[in-house]
Chains A and B, each alone.
Chain A
């Protein structure tokens, strides 16, 4: 295979722990009650269009986009709307949610529920974008940016390449891996749909080399198709970051503060490509997704197809229950996921995994003095100096943080992972980013 491609700057290689890589996707039973948060995308939360007592079917619109960067939400279950009320979501705060009592499983008639593969794409670019917009697609790798916005490059910008992100560089997570193996053909059709929407001639699918079966499967499926190329990548975190993936695949660097379209690229997750297939070919809005339930203590690490709104408790039960010595539950992967406060937190569009950590894995090591080893600088994939930025943020020197480019931080956590003094570098970087972001916004207003 020769030398594998990867991104140039920094990076780490944490233990992969892909415990559920060989476990086929299973379907989780529909919950008795679905909790559907209104804020499931990056940007403005959606506006509800149903009321208490309304009967809803699976796939029926229950909340609509409230702005340009916002998305539609469809009912993942059939039943009646119990209430629209605050419920704790993955942020740990009470946020408005539509709570639906489940009655049966009645689907919207327009949705094609068969397993038949529909290869022919009979829609124009505009129609595809509209369908994806209506179906409420967001980036399913975790960033949850509305997909249709990414398919409409701003005036003057033209996409050259579509890059499908099958990197899944987070340790433990395997939902994208399983999707590529089990729904490979759908992912490829989804890729073609996204290519058509973007009017690009060429797409790359980047997959890390720890998933050789997925690489082989998709390479096989695209053998006769010169427009899609599968690129095996060297295993290195955070290769799934948009900017890192573009660098690895095409050796192009997205300029600081700019979007991938600046270098002619649009990156979409494999999960999003699959959802695009379902939305366009099957009329199926985004109402379910694959979630990995994993952890060293989990009895049956699993990849589960779950309806949006299913409390994570149900998924953990499907993985044979919460182990007794559980100290922490993470929504997402161990590097960028969020620790959740409750088992009632629902699955949302951006949920890629539920990671259960044992008590002895849950607490941080005691912080000690920075020994200026420069390991944080060496591993930073953005070429930043985390030791300096965290210090600036800690001391409130936001001007230094800004000139030292704190806003370029992608919050991958490599610095903190590698810090021998166990300094919570990313905590301070996030704090600094928040403050500097506010300062910049206020300055731009004037």
Chain B
């Protein structure tokens, strides 16, 4: 007897697992930088977040849904690692565990599991934690090279909060400059912040890897970064004393992490090129709006979640260019 099935009879070597582990590999450079600057705290956060995400997914799939357990497809691990990347390394362990439960239980499984969630699970958890535990979520340990000693209890603000609070208190950018790290610090990650968001270079490196491996497309990160650069650049050009420069906005806070790893989540981002560009533009715009006029110094997470909610609408508005369709304005691809 021969096997009978419809064509095609061959399959490419793509798999969900391969994609998910590709994201994991892409996070390694940023992970190493975090361990270098935050020491064992980073390791602790990573382990607790990843293990609890895997655990909650297993419990829910096995005992609540009573369906197949797919915790080794890599998606829960990615969520766990991204959650770790999104919290300060001195966050109490129990809070991280709550975050994992929110990410997996609330943001992912209650929508139907992998592929069905509207919002990025790790970001939902970040925002949940930020609102629930604002103090712990905004006291970041000061980065200190691992070679300078392991235990590190000194906390400090992020560059974004220095600027936000300083400007709100009536100071000008030139007065604030001395309390800020240098651009070189931003690039390598020598600044306060959540675990995985500090090093622009490491994050970009991972992003290039993911573009090369076709895990993400360039459209989303590039449109976000350009929008942020242009919008903050215009404001800075108008009044450089009361607005941070565009490079500062690009390199600080969670922008790189958000643009490269969070906004590009396949499940919660648009399907076509045109849609992705609009989505990225929206995220960039909302980020600067929140950073400059909002109550929080940081706006990337909120911006991405808001645009996640718009994705179904974007998908129905941006169709691929159909072959043989009448010529006209075509935004998709």
Interface residues in chain A, defined as those with a beta carbon under 8 Å from any beta carbon in chain B: 9, 12, 14-15, 92, 171, 243, 247, 253-258, 326-330, 332, 334-341, 355, 357, 361-365, 368-375, 377, 380-385, 387, 405, 408, 411, 413-414, 416-422, 424, 426-427, 430
Partner of B6, one of A334, A357, A426: A426
Contacts A387-B271, A417-B10 aside, 9 further interface pairs with beta carbons under 8 A come to A14-B12, A15-B10, A243-B324, A365-B11, A414-B8, A418-B14, A420-B18, A421-B115, A430-B6
A442–chain B nearest beta-carbon distance, Å = 25
Whether B323 lies near A383 (C-beta < 8 A) is yes
Whether B320 lies near A369 (C-beta < 8 A) is no
CB closest chain-A residue, reference B269 = A372
Partner of A256, one of B2, B267, B272, B323: B323
Give a binary string over B156-186; 1 marks a CB under 8 Å from any A CB, 0 the rest. 0000000000000000000000000000000
Q: Is B322 an interface residue (CB 8 A)?
A: yes
Q: Is B132 an interface residue (CB 8 A)?
A: no
Q: Is B114 an interface residue (CB 8 A)?
A: yes
Whether B324 lies near A253 (C-beta < 8 A) is yes
B152–chain A nearest beta-carbon distance, Å = 38
Q: Is B188 an interface residue (CB 8 A)?
A: no
Q: How far is the CA of A98 from the CA of B164 in the complex (A)?
A: 86
CB closest chain-A residue, reference B327 = A253
Within 8 A of A (CB), among B1-48: 2-12, 14-16, 18-19
Contacts of A336 in B (CB 8 A): 7-8
Q: Is B73 an interface residue (CB 8 A)?
A: yes
Whether B16 lies near A254 (C-beta < 8 A) is no
Whether B2 lies near A339 (C-beta < 8 A) is yes
Q: How far is the CA of A139 from the CA of B321 in the complex (A)?
A: 29
Whether A384 lies near B322 (C-beta < 8 A) is yes
Contacts of B325 in A (CB 8 A): 255-256, 383
Whether B14 lies near A369 (C-beta < 8 A) is no
Whether B324 lies near A340 (C-beta < 8 A) is no
Whether B4 lies near A416 (C-beta < 8 A) is no
Whether A417 lies near B11 (C-beta < 8 A) is yes
Whether B10 lies near A335 (C-beta < 8 A) is yes
Q: How far is the CA of A122 from the CA of B312 in the complex (A)?
A: 63
CB-CB under 8 A for A417 and B70, given A371-B19, A372-B271, A381-B323: no
Partner of B8, one of A362, A363, A405, A417: A417
**Most chain A beta-carbon neighbours within 10 Å: one of B73, B325, B326:** B325
CB-CB under 8 A for A341 and B4, given A12-B12, A370-B115, A420-B19: yes
Q: Is the interface of A mostly helix, strand, loop or mixed?
A: loop
Whether B272 lies near A368 (C-beta < 8 A) is no
**Most chain A beta-carbon neighbours within 10 Å: one of B15, B320, B324:** B324
Q: What is the interface residue range for chain B against chain A?
A: 35 or more
CB closest chain-A residue, reference B4 = A339
Whether B272 lies near A382 (C-beta < 8 A) is no
Contacts of A373 in B (CB 8 A): 19, 266
Q: How far is the CA of A419 from the CA of B16 in the complex (A)?
A: 9
Interface residues in chain B, defined as those with a beta carbon under 8 Å from any beta carbon in chain A: 2-12, 14-16, 18-19, 70, 73, 75, 113-116, 214, 266-267, 271-272, 319-326, 332
Partner of B3, one of A328, A383, A413, A414: A328
CB-CB under 8 A for A171 and B10, given A341-B4, A365-B15, A383-B321: yes
Q: How far is the CA of A411 from the CA of B7 in the complex (A)?
A: 9
Contacts of B14 in A (CB 8 A): 375, 418-420
Q: How far is the CA of A313 from the CA of B326 in the complex (A)?
A: 48
Whether A374 lies near B322 (C-beta < 8 A) is no
CB closest chain-B residue, reference A382 = B323
Whether B3 lies near A363 (C-beta < 8 A) is yes
A411–chain B nearest beta-carbon distance, Å = 7
Q: How far is the CA of A14 from the CA of B13 in the complex (A)?
A: 10
**Most chain B beta-carbon neighbours within 10 Å: one of A336, A364, A372, A385:** A372
Contacts of A365 in B (CB 8 A): 11, 15
CB-CB under 8 A for A374 and B271, given A336-B7, A383-B322, A416-B8: yes
Whether A426 lies near B8 (C-beta < 8 A) is yes
Contacts of A427 in B (CB 8 A): 6
Contacts of B75 in A (CB 8 A): 371
Whether B5 lies near A339 (C-beta < 8 A) is yes
Contacts of B272 in A (CB 8 A): 374, 377
Can you list 26 residue pairs at the A/B interface with Cβ under 8 Å? A9-B323, A247-B323, A254-B324, A255-B325, A255-B326, A256-B322, A328-B3, A336-B7, A336-B8, A340-B2, A363-B3, A364-B5, A370-B115, A371-B114, A372-B115, A375-B14, A377-B271, A383-B322, A408-B324, A413-B7, A413-B8, A418-B14, A419-B11, A419-B14, A421-B16, A424-B6
